[in-house]
């Protein structure tokens, strides 16, 4: 099984416990797992990382398209399916956990799960 990382995984790792200069083994492990086709991210995440222009963006730029996957024709139908599913979720404003549910859909991006669906056998890993 391969894993698909979202931007939060990279950003929190850099900012909290696995700084590129403090724990280079973590970042090398990501590269090794990618080379073994066990770990990827998506182009949109790469774009988000590159927008900051820091040491993480330099690291990400060196990874290229083999790490940050570009969408292909199989992603677009999956994107529509995930968006339809997310839009159809009914959440009660007064039910138990309602605030957590509504927060989880705020800023929801269907891209990572769409990539996971289109490539099958891919899990989605977030830092939350």
Q: pLDDT by residue (tens digit) across 56-93?
A: 999 999 998 899 988 888 877 877 777 777 777 766 55
Residue pair 60/50 in contact (Cβ under 8 Å)? The answer is yes
Which helix or strand (DSSP H or E) is residue 41 part of? strand 39-42
Quote the pTM value.
0.72
Residue pair 115/2 in contact (Cβ under 8 Å)? The answer is no
**Average pLDDT of the chain to the nearest whole number:** 80
Question: What pLDDT, in 10s, does the model give residues 18-41?
Answer: 999 999 999 999 999 999 999 999
Residue pair 60/46 in contact (Cβ under 8 Å)? The answer is yes
pLDDT of 48 reads 93
The β-bridge partners of 122 are 2
């Amino acid at each position: 099984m391969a894993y698909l990382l979202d931007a939060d995984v990279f950003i929190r790792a850099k900012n909290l416990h696995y700084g590129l200069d403090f724990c280079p083994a973590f970042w090398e492990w990501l590269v090794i797992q990618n080379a073994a086709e066990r770990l990827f991210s998506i182009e949109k995440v790469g774009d988000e990382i590159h927008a900051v222009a820091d040491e993480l963006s330099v690291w990400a730029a060196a990874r290229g398209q083999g790490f940050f996957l570009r969408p292909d024709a199989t992603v677009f139908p999956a994107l529509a399916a995930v968006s339809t599913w997310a839009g159809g979720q009914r959440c009660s404003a007064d039910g138990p956990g309602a605030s957590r549910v509504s927060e989880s859909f705020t800023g929801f991006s269907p891209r990572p799960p769409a990539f996971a669906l289109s490539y099958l056998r891919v899990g989605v890993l977030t830092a939350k």
